[in-house]
Amino acid sequence: MQEKEVIIIGGGAAGLAAAVACKQKGIEDILIIERGDYLGGILQQCIHDGFGLEKFHTSLAGPEYAQRYVDQVVDKKIPFLLNSLVVSLTLQKEVIVINYRGLQHYRAKVIILAMGCRERTRGAISIPGARPSGIYTAGVAQELINLKNYMVGEKIVVLGSGDIGLIMARRLTLEGAEVITVAEKLPYSSGLPRNINQCLYDFNIPLLLSHTIVDIEGNGRLSGVTIAQLGERGGIIPGSKRKIACDTLLLSVGLIPENELSREAGVVLDNITGGPQVDERGQTNIPGIFACGNVLQVHDIVDNVSLEAEYIVEGVTEYLEGKLIKEREIKVELGEGLRYVVPQTLCRLKDTIFSFRVNHPGEKKILIFEDGKKVIKKKFLRRVNPAEMVRVKLSSSEIEEVKTLKVKLV
Amino acid sequence: MEREFICIICPNGCRIKVEYEGTNIKNIKGDECPKGKYYVKNEITNPLRVFTGSVLVESGDFSLVSVKTLSPIPKKYLKKVGEITRRIKVDAPVEIGQVVARNLLDNNIDLIATRKIEKKKSLLS
């Protein structure tokens, strides 16, 4: 059994930023454990640009953004394992890793969960029909095209308007494929407006809102899908079904934080985010186990992943110094208009960044923090969109005297 | 003429309402930073986009290197540049920022690498 101060599970955007921040805070004994054969995670296949505007004040492609952190990890000589799978994580913060050298046992004072997400698949959304080849999740198609030099198809339908699906619609078009349409079940897109603009409108790809796929055909290879329009209550509108001939279907229907290890260790998860329930510095219910990045909550902008990772490292440092003392326990209550809030509990008096997603798109909304009938803070939001995470900071003085805390959007 | 633009410069995605004649902006609303006006000005004169894609690599640790145009290019060239990138091949190693193709379409369009590619290691070495 090898002892470590900090073990970071996952070498993607969150894990790398956490590692660099730990080192900067003077923590020496760090180990990053990465399942894949390179650092940087999903960033390496996100070859489009637009990353880093907040963090580096310039527009970078995903691999460029990743390299800025990989370089720091290498310069600072932070140890990392590649092709190494964590197969077990315990309450005692013991980690079992399997790789080409066999099994290794570690025990750490702190575990940082940074495993990211995986994609929802056809099974998760139960599309009926045949089971031909040619059906990919958008991220898998992205990996095949951008890293493996494998073109997925020629006539494409995309289901779901998440950002990866939109980005892939453009990417496939530029690689010579025909993207026939992007269908979205909801009456609004789940991707960022700028991506709808530059990935669909730029190439005249129609976005069909309130539409879904109700049948899949193909013997061997996909030959077509049937789409239908959905009514206000989500039911199929009679007579709206139509067939579209295509050879490839991409699914961009959401991400699932990969928390199997967290659950095994006894970390309590939030039903809505799918990530751990945490305090103001990302600590889970298990002292010394922290979480950041997409494993905590699905982010739309990688800069916020890096910032979140740096932010929770403050808690990590305090924990290692024995200064992380639970002063109180206030559950953050979720009011109307909001889908979730992170953190879910406040344990100490700290400046705290709250992250939210709203339930529906809207304009001129007010986000209200209240303690019983007393309003703690109000923030005007010109425009809200479920695709865009809202982040609001409350200073320690603002939450100093609260006994309860509820947030709502009106 | 009146039109609403969604700015693509940053993730804020400002919705900018513009009243314009030809290429002359008469009234602009909703631009939360100076980049918004610059974006709209380009959109009504000559819309610009950064092309991103990938090209083949010979004897690298990955078979593709991701690339982007050094600066934004006219939107109408995006697909043509895509066609060209499918025929380009470079040798490993490749550094970020390295120019992998110059003056595409005779329009001063340069492609630079956005990923570091190392030479494939021989199993014997």
- The tens digit of pLDDT for each residue in A351-362 reads 999 999 999 999
CB proximity A163 to B under 8 Å: no
> Who's near A293: CB < 8 A, 6+ residues apart?
A10, A12, A13, A14, A15, A114, A116, A299, A305, A308, A309
Locate A368 and state its tokens.
């209200």
Interface contact A175-B86, CB threshold 8 A = yes
Please give the ipTM for the structure prediction.
Answer: 0.91
What pLDDT does A136 receive? 97
Q: What pLDDT band is residue A118 in, cutting at 50, 70 and 90?
A: very high
Tokens of A371: 């303690």
Percent of chain A with pLDDT over 70: 100
Which residues share a beta bridge with A269? A276
Nearest to B63 among A61, A148, A171 (CB): A148
User: With 70 as the cut, is the pLDDT of residue A406 above it?
Assistant: yes
Owner of token pair 């999903």: A42
User: Residues A345, A331: contact at Cβ < 8 Å?
Assistant: yes
Residue A117 pLDDT exceeds 90: yes
Mean pLDDT of A34-42: 96
Q: Are strands A155-159 and A255-257 parallel, antiparallel or unpaired?
A: unpaired
Nearest Cα residue to B67 out of A141, A171, A201: A171
DSSP H helices in B9-101: 34-45, 78-85
Query: What stretch(es) of chain A map to CATH 2.60.40?
Result: 326-410
pLDDT computed for residue B124 by the predictor = 64
Point out the residue among A197, A300, A388 whose CB comes nearest to the CB of B8. Answer: A197
Provide the number of CB pairs (under 8 Å) joining chain A to chain B. Answer: 89
Q: Is the pLDDT of residue A74 over 90?
A: yes
Asked if pLDDT for residue B122 goes beyond 80, the answer is no
Ramachandran bin of A360, using left for φ above 0, alpha for ψ from -120 to 50, beta for the remaining angles: beta
Q: Does A146 touch chain B (CB under 8 A)?
A: yes
CB contact under 8 A, B64 and A146: yes
- φ/ψ of A302, rounded to 5, equals -65, -30
Residues 6+ apart with CB under 8 A from A182: A157, A158, A159, A160, A161, A165, A166, A169, A200, A205, A206, A207, A208
pLDDT grade for A3, boundaries at 50, 70 and 90:
very high
Question: How many helices (H) and strands (E) in chain A?
Answer: 9, 27
Looking from the CA of A266 toward its CB, the CA atoms found within 13 Å total 9
**The pLDDT of residue A336:** 95
| Closest alpha carbon to A195 in A273, A138, A151 | A138
Q: What is the mean pLDDT of residues A5-18?
A: 98
How far is C-alpha B48 from the chain's CA centre? 8
User: What was the pLDDT predicted at B125?
Assistant: 52
C-alpha to C-alpha distance for A107 and A3, rounded to whole angstroms: 5
Residues 26-45 of A with CB under 8 A from B: 44
Chain B CB contacts of A202 under 8 Å are 49, 75, 78
Mean pLDDT, chain A, rounded, equals 96
Of B10, B54, B78, the CB nearest to A53: B10
| Residues of B in Cβ contact (< 8 Å) with A47 | 52-54, 66, 114-115
Q: Are B114 and A193 inside 8 Å of each other by CB?
A: no
| A143 touching B (Cβ < 8 Å) | no
Domains in chain B (CATH in brackets) are 2-45 (no CATH), 52-113 (3.10.530.10)
B98 touches chain A (CB under 8 A): no
Please state the rounded mean pLDDT for residues B24-42: 87
**Which of B56, B57, B66 should one mutate to test binding to chain A, selecting the residue with the greatest count of A CBs within 10 A?**
B66
Tell me the one-letter amino acid at A391: R
Mean pLDDT of the A108-126 span: 96
CATH class of A121-253: alpha beta
Query: Does pLDDT of A92 surpass 90?
Result: yes
A300 touches chain B (CB under 8 A): yes
What gap in Å lies between CA B30 and CA B40, rounded to an integer?
11
Higher pLDDT, B6 or B104: B104
- Please state the rounded mean pLDDT for residues B45-70: 95
Instruction: Report domain A1-119+255-325's class.
Output: alpha beta
- Quote the CA–CA distance of A62 and A71 in Å, as a whole number: 14
Q: Where in chain A is the domain with CATH 3.50.50.60?
A: 1-119+255-325, 121-253
Q: Which CATH class is domain A326-410?
A: mainly beta
